[in-house]
Structure 1
Amino acid sequence: MNILVLSPGFLGVKIGGDALSTAFGVTLLFVSALVLLYGSYSLLFKSPIVIPVKQIKTREDYEDALMHYRRVKPLEKDITLAFEQLERMAKRKDTLLNVLNQRFESTELSYKKFASVTEEVEKLFYLNIRSILNRLNVFDESEYERVMNPKATSFSKELLLEKKKVYNEYLSFIKSSIGSNEEILLKLDKLLLEISRLDSFELGDIEEMPCMQEIDMLIKQTKYYKQ
């Protein structure tokens, strides 16, 4: 647009011509530069809109929510691992459903049992992600840095210890939730392995499968869990 406006045959605006034309041309270039800089800043540095945790529904929503915290230095590795877990969970579920569709009819009780357990485990997985997001939402990185660097603050030792305890609990909870999700992924791997080993299934046999018992126990342990 600037090239068009400053063209000799368009509007008569010319830098180096009369004072009014030069002033207008310089102003146009200056405003254009500001617009370009603001646009670049918005794209590179402006924080994305964060969806409230209670409104998150899809895997993409979870990824977008985690993306907001990707630059939180104390948790960079944990957030990266959480991203990887989301991808692996989607792959495990797809693989498991494909295996079930190959071995059973969707109307069979065996299929329904495996599919139901898979769905329950997936719910637990995303419940852990929600819990992580709830903690991240109230985690203050700048305050954490001050607490972990005593020279940068004038707090008493007792107060610093209490603050460190609080922030260490944040970190421990997030790491624990990620560890729980890793355990869930492992149990799904075991389930796939056990399904592939068996040639035929009876509903009673399914209930006795070691991995199914582990998964059932995990579901029961978290039955009354609340965020």
Structure 2
Amino acid sequence: MNKDMLIRLLALNLGIAAANIAVFSSGLLAVDLFGSALEKAFGSAFLVLSGSGLVYGNYKLLSEPEKAIPIGAKSTKEDYVEALNEHRGLETFERNIDLLLDQIERLQKKNKTIRDILLQIFNASEISYQKFDAVIAEVENIFFKNIRSIINKLNAFDEDDYNFIKKQRNSGAFSEEIMEEKFNVYNEYIRFVKEATEDNEQILLKLDKLLLEISGLNCIESGELEQMAGMIEIDNLIKQAKYYKD
């Protein structure tokens, strides 16, 4: 349940409670259920209406489908984690989502370790460190673009329909041609999520290789950074990502 839903539920229940206090409190309207016939009628009607509003309002809020969390270029790590958690109910992608959440944590940890090691060699104001930091930021950008694409696919995936056609596969209710086309569509969703998840694992592997290289260095001369095997792999990754974007 997201924060917006909790706020709406809290507002509804507190509003109804406040209305009842205002009607029956001795310091306010002071309606007495055991008073005059008019007070009894009004008080009873108000209790029925507020009770109905409480039950119906909570039911409507709790039963309405949750809106997908919008993910854009300026989204934070927390936004991506929350958006992925919103899809934990998709059994088809349950393992993928767990892996993606784990990948996000590992990415943050690796990049922090890389930056910490570099700060032992460079000052944060040095051009070499700033260049390296910009490269790491670009790698993060590519990584989260993959996550964003996956979330878009998860938003579009209709698991109820997918489960329906799986049950109807051998029933003869639809022609083999239609069933094959429908399965091809859903298999494309599954293939995309799997491959994008593997792409992110490749990014983490490249960071591991780079981390292995720089962790054994006490100093790096000017120009040596760009010639390191790990940096060359990451630079190629960035160029490839820009190529596909163009």
Task: Sort the TM-score into its range (normalised by shorter chain).
Answer: 0.7 to 0.9
Does 1:174 pair with 2:193?
A: yes
SS in structure 1 of the partner of residue 174 of structure 2: coil
CA contact (8 A) 2:68 2:155 kept: no
CA contact (8 A) 1:110 1:201 kept: no
Spell out, residue by residue over 1:41-99, the C-alpha distance to the aligned partner (whole angstroms, 9 max, x if none). Answer: 46645444445444653223323433432322222232233233223323333332222
Q: List alignment gaps of at least 5 residues for structure 1.
A: none
The equivalent of 2:12 in structure 1 is none
Distance 1:130 1:26 in 2: 53
The equivalent of 2:163 in structure 1 is 145
Per mean C-alpha deviation after superposition, the further-off stretch among 121-130 and 104-113 is: 104-113
The equivalent of 1:219 in structure 2 is 238
The equivalent of 2:105 in structure 1 is 87
Aligned-pair CA distance for 1:129: 1.1
User: What is the letter of the counterpart of residue 155 of structure 2?
Assistant: N
Aligned-pair CA distance for 1:177: 0.9
SS in structure 1 of the partner of residue 219 of structure 2: coil
Aligned-pair CA distance for 1:168: 0.9
Alignment match of 1:125 (pick from 112, 126, 143): 143
Q: For the structure 1 residues 111 and 55, does the alpha-carbon distance in structure 2 shift closer, same or farther, using more than 3 Å as the test?
A: closer
CA contact (8 A) 2:71 2:79 kept: no
Aligned-pair CA distance for 1:11: 4.4
CA contact (8 A) 1:100 1:111 kept: yes
Distance 2:28 2:145 in 1: 62
Q: For the structure 1 residues 208 and 109, does the alpha-carbon distance in structure 2 shift closer, same or farther, using more than 3 Å as the test?
A: same
The equivalent of 1:190 in structure 2 is 209
Distance 1:11 1:204 in 2: 81
CA contact (8 A) 2:121 2:220 kept: no
User: What is the letter of the counterpart of residue 135 of structure 1?
Assistant: K
Distance 2:81 2:32 in 1: 50
Cα RMSD for the two superposed structures: 3.1
Does 1:69 pair with 2:87?
A: yes
User: What is the letter of the counterpart of residue 131 of structure 1?
Assistant: S
Distance 1:59 1:159 in 2: 40
The equivalent of 2:14 in structure 1 is none
User: What is the letter of the counterpart of residue 13 of structure 1?
Assistant: V
Distance 1:106 1:205 in 2: 18
CA contact (8 A) 1:92 1:189 kept: yes
Q: For the structure 1 residues 42 and 183, does the alpha-carbon distance in structure 2 shift closer, same or farther, using more than 3 Å as the test?
A: farther
Q: Percent identity?
A: 47
Please list, as runs of the form range in 1=range in 2, the aligned pairs for 1:105-124 lying within 5 A after superposition.
105-124=123-142
Aligned-pair CA distance for 1:104: 0.5
CA contact (8 A) 2:121 2:218 kept: no
Aligned-pair CA distance for 1:208: 3.6
User: What is the letter of the counterpart of residue 202 of structure 2?
Assistant: E
Aligned-pair CA distance for 1:224: 1.8
Spell out, residue by residue over 1:12-57, the C-alpha distance to the aligned partner (whole angstroms, 9 max, x if none). Answer: 5344665543443333233333343355446645444445444653
Distance 1:63 1:185 in 2: 17
CA contact (8 A) 1:146 1:153 kept: no
Q: Structure 2-normalised TM-score?
A: 0.75
Q: List alignment gaps of at least 5 residues for structure 2.
A: 1-17
CA contact (8 A) 2:22 2:29 kept: no
